[in-house]
């Protein structure tokens, strides 16, 4: 599982598993399902330069372990196909209504982790809702008009968006507390491989990585 970019001294599999187990064992029981996340601290990266920033949608091989809400913008044919797959389906008329009601637009953005849109609608969405969706990293993923949206909708449910913006320290969800340490480690592996591939110097641009539950203690894994 752990190989290639950061095997050995950088991020050994046994250290990741040990850190995840300690994080799970050290977290007090909560009345809600906690997420498990990694905290990544970069070094020697100039994040004032936009091209150096991390902004990735990363598929998790063992899923997120927690519900993810996905909304779809589409025309009549597309919305009928998405009715039983998307958590919310929005028409071109809904785009106009949201553009006139910023409160509802913000509520929509906060209530859904991902958005998908029929490609021809993207310019309209960008013009009318871009100011609400773009700063939150939630501009829709375009899909071909008339296509079956189910594969894309199902794929994004098992993905996580990782954004550093201009901060050297940022977080990424890798699953939920009720998942096994092994499955969480597989998700950590997928996230770290993608991030390391984006960094100019790979592991040399990583200062440290910690794993923790939402409200639990942080354990260093790199």
Q: Are 35 and 15 part of one and the same domain?
A: yes
Find all residues with CB under 8 Å of 14, minimum gap 6, and list them.
none
Q: Note the pLDDT of residue 12.
A: 64
Q: For residue 5, what pLDDT is reported? A: 44
- Say how many C-beta atoms besides its own lie within 10 A of residue 52's C-beta: 16
On whether both 163 and 152 belong to a single domain, the answer is: no
pLDDT value of residue 3? 44
Query: Among residues 157, 174, 199, which one ends one of the domains?
Result: 157
pLDDT digit string, tens, across residues 150-182: 999 988 888 898 999 999 999 999 999 999 999
Q: Which of these three, 118, 139, 157, is where a domain ends? A: 157
The CA dihedral of 156, 159, 160, 161, to the nearest 10 degrees, is -50
Beta strands (DSSP E) in 67-179 are 70-73, 88-90, 114-118, 141-143, 159-163, 169-176
CATH number of the domain to which 85 belongs: 3.40.50.790
* CATH number for the domain that contains residue 176: 3.30.190.20
Residue 216 lies in domain:
4-65+159-220
Residues 74 and 59 in one domain: no
Whole-angstrom distance, CA of residue 99 vs CA of residue 184: 39
Kindly give the confidence (pLDDT) of every residue in the chain, 222 residues in length, as a single tens digit, with 9 standing for 90 and above.
Answer: 444 444 444 456 788 999 999 999 999 988 888 999 999 999 999 999 999 999 998 999 998 877 789 999 999 888 888 888 899 999 999 999 999 999 999 999 999 989 999 999 999 999 999 999 999 889 999 999 989 999 999 888 888 989 999 999 999 999 999 999 999 999 999 999 999 999 999 999 999 999 999 999 999 999
53 and 77 both lie in a single domain: no
Do 163 and 149 share a structural domain?
no
16 and 125 in a single domain? The answer is no
pLDDT of residue 68: 84
CA angle 129, 133, 138 (to 5 degrees): 135
Q: Does residue 42 sit in the same domain as residue 98? A: no
Q: How high is the pLDDT of residue 7?
A: 43
Provide the token pair at 42. Answer: 């970069």
Number of H helices, E strands in the chain: 7, 10
Q: Which pTM was predicted?
A: 0.77
Of 132, 157, 182, the position where a domain reaches its end is 157
Sheet holding 206-213, edge to edge: 169-176, 35-42, 206-213, 219-220
Judgement on whether residues 153 and 106 belong to the same structural domain of the protein: yes
Number of domains in the chain: 2
Strand partners, 160: 58
């Amino acid at each position: 599982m752990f190989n290639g970019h950061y095997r050995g001294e950088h991020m050994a599999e046994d250290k990741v598993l040990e850190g995840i187990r300690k994080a799970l064992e050290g977290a007090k029981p909560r009345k809600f399902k906690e997420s498990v996340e990694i905290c990544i601290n970069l070094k020697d990266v100039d994040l004032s330069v936009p091209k150096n920033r991390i902004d990735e949608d990363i598929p998790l091989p063992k899923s997120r372990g927690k519900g993810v809400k996905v909304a779809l913008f589409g025309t009549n044919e597309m919305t009928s196909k998405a009715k039983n797959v998307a958590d919310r389906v929005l028409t071109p008329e809904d785009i106009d209504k949201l553009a006139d009601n910023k409160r509802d637009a913000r509520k929509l953005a906060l209530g859904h982790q991902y958005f998908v849109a029929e490609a021809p609608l993207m310019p309209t969405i960008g013009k009318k809702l871009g100011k609400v969706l773009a700063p939150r990293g939630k501009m829709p993923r375009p899909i071909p008009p008339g296509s079956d949206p189910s594969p894309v909708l199902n794929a994004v449910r098992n993905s996580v968006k990782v954004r550093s913006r201009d901060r050297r320290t940022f977080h990424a969800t890798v699953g939920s507390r009720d998942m096994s340490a092994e499955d969480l480690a597989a998700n950590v592996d997928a996230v770290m491989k993608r991030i390391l591939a984006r960094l100019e110097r790979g592991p040399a641009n990583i200062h440290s990585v910690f794993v923790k539950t939402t409200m639990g203690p942080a354990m260093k894994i790199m």
